Copies of this chain bind each other. A is one copy, B any other.
Amino acid sequence: MEKAESWLYKTLHYRFKDSGLFTQALTHRSASARNSERLEFLGDAVLDLVISGAVFRARPGASEGDLSRLRSALVKEKSLAEIAADLGVGEYLLLGSGEKKTGGHRRESILADALESIFGAVYLDGGFNAASVMIEHVFAERLIDLPDADDLRDPKTRLQEWLQARGRSLPEYELVGVTGKAHKQVFEVSCSVGDEAGATRGESTTRRKAEQKAAAAMLTQLLEDSV
Chain B residues whose C-beta falls within 8 Å of the C-beta of A129 in the assembled complex: 128
Copies of this protein, total: 2
CB within 8 A of A48: which of B38, B49, B63, B123? B49
CB within 8 A of A46: which of B49, B62, B123? B49
With an 8 A cutoff between CB atoms, is A219 at the interface?
no
With an 8 A cutoff between CB atoms, is A176 at the interface?
no
Chain A count of residues within 8 A CB distance of the other chain: 21
Interface residues of A in 132-176 (CB under 8 A from B): 132
A46 to B53, CA, bound (A): 10
Nearest residue, chain B, Cβ from A37 = B64
Chain B residues whose C-beta falls within 8 Å of the C-beta of A186 in the assembled complex: none
Interface mask (A32-50 → B, CB under 8 Å = 1, otherwise 0): 0000011011100110110
Interface residues of A (CB under 8 A from B): 37-38, 40-42, 45-46, 48-49, 52-53, 56, 62-64, 67-68, 123, 128-129, 132
